[in-house]
Structure 1
Amino acid sequence: MREEISVNKAINRGHLIVNIPVFVSMFGIPALALYLAQNNSIPKWGVVISFIIGFIVAWLVWSFMITKWRIWAFDNVRNVHELKKRAIAEKLIWNDGKIFEKTEIKSPKQKRKLKLLEKKFEEEDVFKEDFSAPKSKTIYYSKSTNLIQMFIMIACSILGIYLILDSGSYIMGSLFIIGGIYYAYKAFKKATITAPQIIINDKGIETIQVNFKNWSEIKNEEVLIKNNGNHASAYLNFDFKEGFESLQIDDFDITPKDMENLLRTYRIRNKKNYS
C-alpha cells in the first residue's frame, strides 16, 4: 500500500524543488554577471541584461517544475483541497484562472494526468482530531510580536531624525519619523490590549467582533490567507445565520496553521460530544 504524504511534507518539497531553483536562477545569474563585469570579462551593460535573463530563466524553471510538483503532490496527498489552499497561500501556485497560472508548461501526457487527478477534488478532505489541543483555547494579541514591531518602528523614527540632522533630508526624514511614531503607537496599543480576541472550544466560537456562536450555527470556517502585493495577511473567516466573521489574526498569539488545526479539532469534538 502506497504511503500518503502529508500536506506539510508536500509543501516543503515544493519549496525545495520549485522555489529554491527559481530563487537561484533569478539572483544567481545577475550575481555571476556582476562578478564577470568586475573582472572585465563582460561589459557593464551585461549586468542589466542579466537581470532580464535571470527573470526569464526563473520563470521557465517555475513553469516546468511546478507542473512536476503538482502531479507528484496531488497524486500522493489525500487532502487535496487543503494542499491547494496552502500552495496558493505560500505562493507555490496561483489561483485558478490567473494569467500566471496559465503560463505553466505541461506536456500532453501531464495534462492527461492532471485531468485524472481532478477527480480527487470530488471527495472532501479528511481530518483527525488533535488530542493535544486543550478543552478550550483563548487567543490574545501577541505581546512579543507587537513589542518587537514597536521597537522596529521606534528605530525607524530615530533613523528619520538622523537623516534630518546628518544629511538635511527633511522630507525622507520626516516620513520616517511620522510613519515610525504612528506604527509604533499602533503596535504598543495592541501589545497592551488584555481582552481575549478569540475563544474557541468544542461548543463554538466567540470573537472580539462576534458574540458566541455554536458550531451548529457556523459554516465554512477557515483560515484564509489574503495576498496584498508582497504582503500576506491571515484571517479567521466563518459564516453564521446573521452574517459572517472575518478577523485578521496576524498579530495574535497563534499561527494560521495552529488556528486551522483548532477549527478542525473542535468541529470534530463537537460532532463526537453533541451529535
Structure 2
Amino acid sequence: MSSYQKASLISVDQAITKGRKMLLLPRILMIIGLFFFLFPIAMLFIAIKDGPSFSTNAWLIAASIVIVCFFVCFYLPFRFWSKRTTRWKLWAFNNVDNVHELKIAAVQANLCPAYGTFMDKIQIQSAKEREQWRKLQDRFDFPDIFKDDSTIPSVTEVFYSKMNSAVYILFGLLFLGIGGGIEYLVIKNNGDFTSQLIPFVIVIAAICYIVINIKRMLKKQPEMVLDNQGLTTPGTGFLNWDLIFNEKVTRTDRGKRGILYTFSFQYPGGLVNIDVSDFNVNKARLERLIRVYKGRFAAGLS
C-alpha cells in the first residue's frame, strides 16, 4: 500500500473550510496593503506629470516612501499570504481523501494557484517547502479515494427557495403600493400622460414580479434532481454522470444587482448554464452534492 493511501483522511470540504479560515486574514491584508502601496505611486505620477520639477532631496524622499510602502504594504502581506497558502496546501494535499477533487475545489475557491502556474512559481517558499509540494504531485498518480457522505440521500430535489420568493413578493407589494399611490396622486392632480405612464409601468412590473414569484412558490416540479445515477434538468432531461463534465458553480458579483450563482456543465449536447441564485441550495452544498453523487456513480454505489 502506498504511503499516500492512509486509513484516515479528511474530506475535500473539510480541507476547503480550513483553507478559507486560514487565508481570510492574509487576503484582507493583501487587499488593504495593495491600496496603500498603489496610492503613493499614483500620487507620485500625478506630481511628476502636473507638478513642478523635483529636486534631488524630493526624489530621495519620494523614492524612500515608495520603497517603504512596497516593503510594508506589499511584500510583507504577500509573504504572509505565501507562507499561509503553502502551509495549507502541504497539509491539505497530504491528508485529503481525494486530491483530484481538492485541486479543482481549491482553484475555484482561490485558495491556491494550480501547480506550475505563474502564481505558484512566484510564491515565497523555502527550498524544502517547494520540494515537498513537488513530491505531493505524486499523489495524482494514484486512483481517487471516494469517501461517501451518509447524510446525503440517494435523491435530492432542488426547488426555488420559498423564503427568497416570499421576500421578493413583499418587495413587489411595496413597489405596487408606491406605484399605485403615485398614479393616484398624478391622476388626482391632472398630470400629463408621461407622468401617468411611469407609475403605471411600475405597477405592471411589480404585478409581473409578484406573479412570477408566486408561481415559483407553488411550483411542484423541481428545477433540478440529483441522484446516484445522474442529473435531471428541464432543459436536458436525465443525464448519467459519465455524460457530464467540466461542472462548476461560479460566483459573479454584479454590484448593485447582487450576486449571481451559476451552475454550468458540459455534456454531449452542448453547454448548460443554470442560474441557481434563488434555489434552496447554496453554492457549497451544491458542489458537495455533485461530488458525492458523481463519486457514488463512479464507485458503482446505488
TM-score normalised by structure 2 residue count: 0.59
Matches of residues 86-101 of structure 1 in structure 2 within 5 Å?
A: 86-95=105-114, 99-101=118-120
Q: Higher mean Cα deviation, 18-27 or 221-230?
A: 221-230
Which protein is bigger by CA-based radius of gyration? Answer: 2
Matches of residues 45-124 of structure 1 in structure 2 within 5 Å?
A: 53-95=72-114, 99-124=118-143
Q: Higher mean Cα deviation, 22-31 or 256-265?
A: 22-31
**Which letter does structure 2 place at the counterpart of 1:13?**
K
> 1:212 deviation in Å?
2.2
Select which of 3, 8, 13 maps to 1:8.
13
- Residue identity (%): 25
> 1:22 deviation in Å?
3.9
Structure 1: where are the runs of 5+ without partners?
Answer: 32-45, 159-177
Could you tell me which residue of structure 1 aligns to residue 196 of structure 2?
Answer: none
In the alignment, the residues of structure 2 paired with residue 192 and residue 67 of structure 1 have an alpha-carbon distance, to the nearest angstrom, of: 49
**Which letter does structure 2 place at the counterpart of 1:80?**
V
Matches of residues 1-275 of structure 1 in structure 2 within 5 Å?
A: 3-23=8-28, 27=32, 53-95=72-114, 99-148=118-167, 189=212, 192-193=215-216, 194=219, 195-215=221-241, 218-220=243-245, 222-225=247-250, 233-239=261-267, 241-267=268-294, 268=296, 271-273=300-302
Could you tell me which residue of structure 1 aligns to residue 59 of structure 2?
Answer: none
In the alignment, the residues of structure 1 paired with residue 32 and residue 173 of structure 2 have an alpha-carbon distance, to the nearest angstrom, of: 32
> 1:244 deviation in Å?
4.1
Report if the CA contact (8 A) 2:230-2:239 is conserved: yes
> 1:117 deviation in Å?
0.6
> 1:153 deviation in Å?
9.4
Report if the CA contact (8 A) 1:200-1:206 is conserved: yes
> 1:69 deviation in Å?
1.7
SS of 2:237's equivalent in the other structure is coil
In the alignment, the residues of structure 1 paired with residue 94 and residue 171 of structure 2 have an alpha-carbon distance, to the nearest angstrom, of: 44
In the alignment, the residues of structure 2 paired with residue 52 and residue 188 of structure 1 have an alpha-carbon distance, to the nearest angstrom, of: 57
In the alignment, the residues of structure 2 paired with residue 138 and residue 84 of structure 1 have an alpha-carbon distance, to the nearest angstrom, of: 28
Deviations 1:178-212 (A, max 9, x none): 9xx98997697356322421123344322021122
> 1:119 deviation in Å?
1.2
Report if the CA contact (8 A) 1:135-1:201 is conserved: yes
Relative distance call for 1:87 and 1:269 in structure 2 (3 A) is closer
Cα RMSD (Å) of the superposition?
Answer: 4.5
Report if the CA contact (8 A) 1:26-1:54 is conserved: no
> 1:254 deviation in Å?
1.3
In the alignment, the residues of structure 2 paired with residue 198 and residue 70 of structure 1 have an alpha-carbon distance, to the nearest angstrom, of: 33
> 1:75 deviation in Å?
1.4
Deviations 1:80-109 (A, max 9, x none): 122222222322223567654443112222
Deviations 1:83-140 (A, max 9, x none): 2222223222235676544431122222211111111122343323333433432211
Could you tell me which residue of structure 1 aligns to residue 57 of structure 2?
Answer: none
TM-score normalised by structure 1 residue count: 0.64
In the alignment, the residues of structure 2 paired with residue 148 and residue 235 of structure 1 have an alpha-carbon distance, to the nearest angstrom, of: 23
Q: Higher mean Cα deviation, 21-30 or 99-108?
A: 21-30
